Amino acid sequence: MTVLAPAARPQAAAPRTKYVIVENSPVHHAIRAACIAVAALGVLWASQLAPFRVGQFTTVFIMAIAIIGLNLVTGYTGLLSIGHSAFFGLGAYTTGVLIVKLEFAPLATIPIAMALTFVLGLLVGLPSLRIHGLYLALVTLAVAVAFPEIVRKLESLTGGAAGMVVRSRYLAPPEWTGLVRAQRGIWMFWLSAFVLVLVMILSRSLIRSRFGLMMRTVRDHEIAAAANGVGIARTKILVFGISGAITGLAGALFTMYIGALSPDGSFTLLKAIELVTGLVLGGVATQLGPLIGALAVVFLPYYTASFTTGPLSGVLFGAVLIALCFLMPEGIAGRLGLLIRRVVTVVPKDHPAPPR
Amino acid sequence: MELFVERLLAGLTNGSVYALLALALVVVYRATGTLNFAQGELALFTTFVAWWLTTLDAPVWVAIVAALIVGFVLGAAIERLLIRPVQRKNDMAVLIVALGLFTGLNSLAGLLWGSETKIMPSPFPNGLDDYVSVFGARLYGDALGVWAALIVLLGLMTLLFRRTRIGLHMRAVAANPESAALAGVRTGRILMVGWGLSGAIGALAGVLVTPLAPEQLGLTTMFHIFIAASAAALFGGLDSLPGAVVGGLTIGVLEALLSGYVSFIGGELQQTSALLIIVAILFIRPNGLFGSKRTVRV
């Protein structure tokens, strides 16, 4: 099964590009360094904004991490999932419960949250061995729906429908940062930004690794992949595990940021749809897509809500999703990539430069 | 005994509703080979249309017929305008469009008619005294109506697929669109009719269920029904009409008995139990219990 990602493949139109850059040449390094510098300046600029804006950007970073998790499974491996709200929720609740019931330090809960969501990912990945395409989406949909029900049922642990509050004294920045409790906003901003960068690097290396190649062959042609010795079952299940752990990590950060959890607040099917929307909007199977998509799903509703409220924004949300499929199926990052590739091509060093 | 029969009957009634919506899913699957994730919200929207007509003093039967027509037109329009252009691309595009419809239709209903709960009048006698006594349990008129509707619809659908030209064309298109087109089937029109039919069936399910549903007609009414209906359709392998009905009834009865007798599940884990049923069935038989085997060619 293929996925909406024509942009992920290099275009055959390479000879028509104006500039050719050799990979790992000084020019290539300089451009890359400049991009990183611009990004770093952008984050610095964002950290100086009013606390409300800083909070919005923190949400963007957290959403971006969650969408990167989804991108691994849906974008690069082609396994449709609309159940990722459950991973987000399990990560969030694990952190919440560990802090409230066992008085864990917030950062110490992250490995446990990731381990649990990794295991949940393996379990959700199991059906993907036998179920394909839209049927898998249906199974993951059911996971998304089941999660809030289970949270409500396990009342003694999760606070049930009433939700759970993590007191802010538990969430204060650790002492070594030199920040005081009132600076929790800025602490979470930098923590999320740091984790996002880490996750982006990790996901990039994973995709470029041998395993990443296996992921993409499973997506593009499962039978051919199997014939070439790719362990389909192992790849699919492991990807679901990794994807779950990354989205669970986002959930853990979410608890540390928001401090209050309720089953119907952030972990319903709507959240899962929001993650999918972000992924598609940003660009499926692209490196920057999740970040751009997260920016869009955090800021767009905020601006549309300023002139519309309630159901109308839901209608707009649905309309945007459908319109995207028609107008820009490769997403913003994918479209940008196409435009850039029209001007610049990057070729490997040992590869002859394309003729002018 | 009386309590058991009562739960059994309630389960069969709920199950009939699941089966109705499952039939809508199966019709789309048999005609186009895809799943309609927006089926439940489509049914919700048309039910709102029917409710709105009854508030304008239209007789309930007229409202239902109108809902069926709106369901057919909406279904056909969605196929023609939204699904067909992207279907060639892939599953993901279909999924995204369906998710867009899912949120869009639900919010549109809320936008047009408000989010407070509505009371949809039942087309069947549903007064407190309109019941038949079965082993001491009470079977009300509107439950019987749902059963009757399911039986009639199953009959009609079977006839459609087995005995009519258009049904034959639908099966041909689902099996292999290219060959069907080469053999002179107007595939586009068939796909539209398939989606239209499923829209109409969904509308029927919607108008019949809301008088029975504990939450009446609200924005979330169809959600659980959709999940259960998908489980039911998968149970039958998505391409079997009797399978969908058996699946719907089984899930309805299981749900009623489990929530009645297994106190841990109660009324709160309904969706979760439907999920477990879906996964278990797909694991044991990926093509469902009644589904035909599909062979993949390399």
pLDDT 10s digits, B286-295: 666 666 665 5
Does B105 sit within 8 Å of A318, measured CB to CB?
yes
pLDDT at A319: 86
Does A314 sit within 8 Å of B106, measured CB to CB?
yes
Chain B residues with beta carbon closer than 8 angstroms to that of A126: 283
- Angstrom distance (rounded) from CA B68 to CA B205: 10
For B223, the closest chain A residue by CA position comes to: A145
By three-state DSSP, how is residue A147 classified? helix
Closest C-alpha among A212, A207, A233 to residue A222:
A233
Burial class (CB within 10 angstroms; exposed 0-12, middle 13-18, buried 19+) of B154? middle
Q: What is the b/e burial string over B200-233, where b = at least 16 CB atoms within 10 angstroms of the residue's CB?
A: bbbbbbbbbbbbbbeeebbbebbbbbbbbbbbbb
| Tokens linked to A144 | 């998304």
Does A276 sit within 8 Å of B99, measured CB to CB?
yes
The DSSP element (H or E) to which A22 belongs, if any, is: strand A19-22
Mean pLDDT of A201-230: 91
For B115, the closest chain A residue by CA position comes to: A311
- The answer to whether residue B117 sits within a structural domain is yes
pLDDT at A216: 93
- Angstrom distance (rounded) from CA A128 to CA A215: 13
Question: CA B180 → CA A285, B159, B162, B189, distances in Å?
Answer: 35, 21, 17, 12
pLDDT at A22: 78
Nearest CA to CA, how far is A324 from chain B (Å)?
A: 9
Tell me, which fold does domain A19-171+179-347 have in CATH? Answer: ABC transporter involved in vitamin B12 uptake, BtuC (1.10.3470)
Would you tell me how many other CB atoms lie within 10 Å of the CB of residue A34? 10
| Tokens linked to B128 | 């407190």
Residue from the list B97, B270, B286 with its beta carbon closest to the beta carbon of A130? B286
Write down the pTM of the prediction.
Answer: 0.85
* Average pLDDT of the residues of chain B: 82
Q: Which of B44, B275, B277, B278 would best serve as a mutation to test chain A binding (most A beta carbons within 10 A)? A: B275
Does A322 sit within 8 Å of B100, measured CB to CB?
yes
- The model's pLDDT over B124-142, given as tens digits with 9 standing for 90+, comes to 766 666 677 766 666 777 7
Chain B residues with beta carbon closer than 8 angstroms to that of A322: 82, 96-97, 100-101, 104
- The answer to whether residue B69 sits within a structural domain is yes
pLDDT at A93: 95
CB pairs under 8 A between A and B: 150
For A322, the closest chain B residue by CA position comes to: B97
| Tokens linked to B55 | 């508030």
pLDDT at A121: 94
| Tokens linked to B183 | 């053999």
Chain A residues with beta carbon closer than 8 angstroms to that of B96: 4, 276, 280, 321-322, 324-325
By three-state DSSP, how is residue A172 classified? coil
Sort strands A164-165 and A260-261 into parallel, antiparallel or unpaired: antiparallel
Burial class (CB within 10 angstroms; exposed 0-12, middle 13-18, buried 19+) of A307? exposed
- The answer to whether residue B23 sits within a structural domain is yes
Chain B residues with beta carbon closer than 8 angstroms to that of A152: 268
For chain A, give every domain's residue range.
19-171+179-347
Residue from the list B82, B91, B227 with its beta carbon closest to the beta carbon of A322? B82
- The answer to whether residue B70 sits within a structural domain is yes
Q: Which domain holds residue B85?
A: 2-220
Give yes or no for residue A89 having a pLDDT over 90.
yes
Nearest CA to CA, how far is B169 from chain A (Å)?
A: 24
Indicate the range of A22-36, A251-265, A274-288, B266-280 predicted with least confidence. B266-280
Give A251's pLDDT tier (boundaries 50, 70, 90).
very high
pLDDT at A62: 96
Q: Is the ipTM of this complex over 0.85?
A: no
- The answer to whether residue B264 sits within a structural domain is no
Task: DSSP letter for A74, please.
Answer: I
Chain B residues with beta carbon closer than 8 angstroms to that of A149: 268-272
- The model's pLDDT over B212-252, given as tens digits with 9 standing for 90+, comes to 776 777 777 788 888 888 888 888 778 888 888 998 998 88
pLDDT at B130: 67
Would you tell me how many other CB atoms lie within 10 Å of the CB of residue A55? 17
The DSSP element (H or E) to which A344 belongs, if any, is: strand A344-347
Give A198's pLDDT tier (boundaries 50, 70, 90).
very high
- The answer to whether residue B101 sits within a structural domain is yes
- Angstrom distance (rounded) from CA B92 to CA B107: 22
Chain B residues with beta carbon closer than 8 angstroms to that of A305: none
Q: Which residue has the tokens 């609200």?
A: B218
With contact defined as beta carbons under 8 Å apart, do B95 and B37 qualify? yes
A164 forms beta bridges with A261
Give A13's pLDDT tier (boundaries 50, 70, 90).
very low
Angle between helices A84-102 and A106-125 (to 10 degrees): 140
For B109, the closest chain A residue by CA position comes to: A311
- The answer to whether residue B290 sits within a structural domain is no
- The model's pLDDT over A20-63, given as tens digits with 9 standing for 90+, comes to 777 778 888 888 899 899 989 988 898 888 888 999 999 999 99
- Angstrom distance (rounded) from CA B47 to CA B217: 8
- The model's pLDDT over A296-337, given as tens digits with 9 standing for 90+, comes to 888 877 776 665 566 777 788 788 888 888 888 888 888 888
Q: Total domain count for chain B? A: 1
What would the DSSP string read from start to end of chain B?
-HHHHHHHHHHHHHHHHHHHHHHHHHHHHHHHS---TTHHHHHHHHHHHHHHHHHTT--HHHHHHHHHHHHHHHHHHIIIIIIHHHHTT-HHHHHHHHHHHHHHHHHHHHHHH-SS-B-PPPSS--STT-EEEETTEEEEHHHHHHHHHHHHHHHHHHHHHHHSHHHHHHHHHHH-HHHHHHTT--HHHHHHHHHHHHHHHHHHHHHHHTTTSTT-BSTTHHHHHHHHHHHHHHHTTSS-HHHHHHHHHHHHHHHHHHHHH-TTTTTT-HHHHHHHHHHHHHHH-TT-SSPPP-----
Q: Which of A273, A280, A322 would best serve as a mutation to test chain B binding (most B beta carbons within 10 A)? A: A322
Nearest CA to CA, how far is A120 from chain B (Å)?
A: 14
Q: Going by C-beta distance under 8 Å and a sequence separation of 6 or more, which residues neighbour residue A99?
A: A106, A109, A166, A170, A171, A255
Would you tell me how many other CB atoms lie within 10 Å of the CB of residue A72? 26
Q: Which of B26, B82, B89, B96 would best serve as a mutation to test chain A binding (most A beta carbons within 10 A)? A: B96
With contact defined as beta carbons under 8 Å apart, do A183 and A204 qualify? no
- The model's pLDDT over B158-205, given as tens digits with 9 standing for 90+, comes to 898 888 998 888 888 877 888 888 988 888 888 899 899 999 999 998
Does B96 sit within 8 Å of A276, measured CB to CB?
yes
Does B275 sit within 8 Å of A143, measured CB to CB?
yes
Residue from the list A2, A146, A321 with its beta carbon closest to the beta carbon of B99? A321
pLDDT at A201: 94
Q: Which residue blocks in chain A are alpha helix, DSSP H? A: 26-47, 51-70, 84-102, 106-125, 133-153, 155-158, 184-208, 210-220, 222-227, 232-258, 263-266, 269-282, 289-307, 311-327, 331-343
What's A250-293 look like in SS3?
HHHHHHHHHCEECHHHHCCHHHHHHHHHHHHHHCCCCCCHHHHH
Looking at this protein, which amino acid is placed at residue A214?
Answer: M
Chain A residues with beta carbon closer than 8 angstroms to that of B231: 142
The percent of residues in chain B predicted with pLDDT above 90, rounded, is 12
Does B110 sit within 8 Å of A310, measured CB to CB?
yes
Does B100 sit within 8 Å of A319, measured CB to CB?
yes
- Angstrom distance (rounded) from CA A253 to CA B150: 49
Give yes or no for residue B52 having a pLDDT over 50.
yes
Would you tell me how many other CB atoms lie within 10 Å of the CB of residue B136? 10
